[in-house]
Every structure is written in C-alpha cells, then in structure tokens.
Amino acid sequence: MPDSIVVQQVINQLNAFHPLSKNLACEFATKSFKVSLKKNEYLMRKGEYSPYLYFIVEGILAALFVSPKQTVTTFISVSGDFLCAIEGMYGLVPCDEDVRAEADSTLIAVKAQDLLRFFEDYPEMNILMRKILERYYKIAHHRSVFFRVGSIQDKYEYFLNAYPNHAEKIPVEVIASFLNVKINTLQKIRQQRVQQQKNRTAISQSDIEYYLVQTNIFLRKKLTLMELSGKLSITPHELSRLLNLYFNKNFNSFINSYRVNYVLDQLSVKNNLKQYSLEGLGSAAGFSSRSSFFNEFKKHVGVTPFNYLNSTKQPIHVSKEIDLPH
C-alpha cells in the first residue's frame, strides 16, 4: 500500500468532487498502489493493455500518437489530473498511443476490476465518476473549439491558462506538437511574451501580500488561481510565475501558508477555542476538509494542531514575510 499521505491527497481530491464514505476511502487506500516514473519513462506503450485508472499526484505526462510521418501529442496531463488509456480504463483493447512522463512523476493507480466493485458497493462512487467525466468532457469541448477557431497566439494563451503551474516545465517540442504549431513559431511567440512582460510594470511582492492581508481572500474555500489572478488583474500564468519568483511556492502552498498562519493567530488568542473546535477553526480558515487542514498544518508547522496546542505555549508563524492582522 502506498504512503498514507500520498493516498490522502488523492482522497481529498476525490472528496472535492463528491464526499466518500469512510468505508470507500479505506478500501481505496487498501486497493490503490503507487507508480513512480522518471522523465522520459513510459506509463503505457502502443499495443499494450492498460486496465487501470491513474491519479497524478505530481508530474507531467503526455500522450503521443506515432505515425510513419509524424508524432502528435494528443493530450497533456499534470498534477491533480486523472488519467487512463484513451481506449478506456478496462484494458479490453490495446492502447493506440504511448503515454510518457515529461518530468519525474508520482501516480496512484487503481485496477479497473476494483473500480467496478466500488461502483457496485458504494453508490457515491457512481456520482463521483459522473462528475469527473462531466468536467473532462467540458475541458475537451473547450479545447476543441479553441484549437479550431483560435489564432496561434490564442492557442498558446489557452495553453498557459490551462497549465499555469506547469507551462514552463513542459518541453517546447511537446507544447508545439500539442498546439499543432511549428517549434520555431512557438519560440517566437514565447519571446514576444517575455518582451511584453519586461515592458510592463510587474505586480510587486508587497502588492500581493497587501491584497491578501487587506481582503482575507484566502479564507474563501476553493479559492482558485484564476480567481485571485483576476482580482490582481493579471493572468493565472503570470501570478503562478510571480508566486514562484517571490515566495518559491505554488498557488496552493502559498494560500495554505496564509490559512495556517490565520489558525495560529486565532490559537494565540486566549479562550478562542471556546468559539471554535479545531475542525471549525480550520473550516473558518478556508480549508475544505478536516484532513486537508490537518495535513497542511503539519506540513507547514511540523506538528499536528493537537500536538501544537499540547506542546507550544508561545505562538509561532509559518513565514516571517507574512504578517496577518489579529
């Protein structure tokens, strides 16, 4: 069985679509297994059978359709995505495409036969998968429309918005193949964007910090990169780049550091737990579930909320650069 923290990440992701019962979550953790790939290793090869559904915990994978004349990238999947053979997850027919890791990747896999039993035994699994399929159907539809009617610049802008945390890590030849443009054309577009960014005044680190402290927008559950970038009047890709540049963090880690510091601030107030339970305090801070709150608290502080209360008398903060109001 894979590391419990890694599995819990996937369970949290599934819970975001539809709540899992304790029994289903337990069975999922028992039946799933971890898959690790180095860059350029293959998850699937054309002609093989793949009876699995994968959950990408970390990494980048691309599907490649190889013909005598050319190799076409048909889709790109990144951290947080679900993945199976395009022919279906049941492994009844051989794969028609290769799936290759474009970066070191960690996945959690479940056999199709176990998923079928989950469908039979747990009604919520059917609801969950329906919602997942609806989401990916919409994504595929929007991508199809954009790629048919948009200019090359429009296609690249779509790509940046679709993969804001991974756009800089995906090889340029994979992006060009995915967008169906020539590599030198794509490189020119990227150079033009870099020059445009240099010509305009970038939002500063203090601008981002000031907005979060003044608005407490991080308390909003399910806050997205696109939503925050809209408030700051920049693109999701630009905000992702600035968070990495200024704070060396991705969006989720950055927002969760503010949420954890908010909890620490509240715990430093005498008798504050009379108004909130620990779970309630996590919810008030913007965490969508008890497990995500406890996992993020331990990740940033080093101990669980309960152990923090029992062992720490003086309040601490995750980062000196973040100063939240009391």
Whether the model clears a pTM of 0.85, i.e. scores above it, the answer is no
- pLDDT, position 313: 57
Q: What is the pLDDT of residue 97?
A: 94
What is each CA distance from 298 to 2, 5, 88, 120, in whole angstroms? 19, 11, 38, 36
Determine the Cα–Cα distance for residues 211 and 194; give it in Å rounded to an integer: 25
pLDDT in tens, 127-185: 999 999 898 888 888 777 777 777 888 888 888 888 888 888 899 999 999 998 999 99
For the domain made up of 205-311, the CATH class stated in words is mainly alpha
Q: What one-character-per-residue DSSP string does 18-67 give?
A: SPPPHHHHHHHHHH-EEEEE-TT-EEE-TT----EEEEEEE-EEEEEEE-
pLDDT digits (tens, 9 = 90+) for 222-274: 899 999 999 998 888 889 989 998 999 999 999 999 999 999 988 877 555 55
Per-residue pLDDT, averaged over 93-111, amounts to 95
CATH class of 4-142: mainly beta
Instruction: Inform me whether the pLDDT recorded for 319 exceeds 80.
Output: no
DSSP code string of 208-252:
HHHHHHHH-GGGSTT--HHHHHHHTTS-HHHHHHHHHHHHS--HH
**CA separation for the pair 169, 320 (Å, rounded):** 29
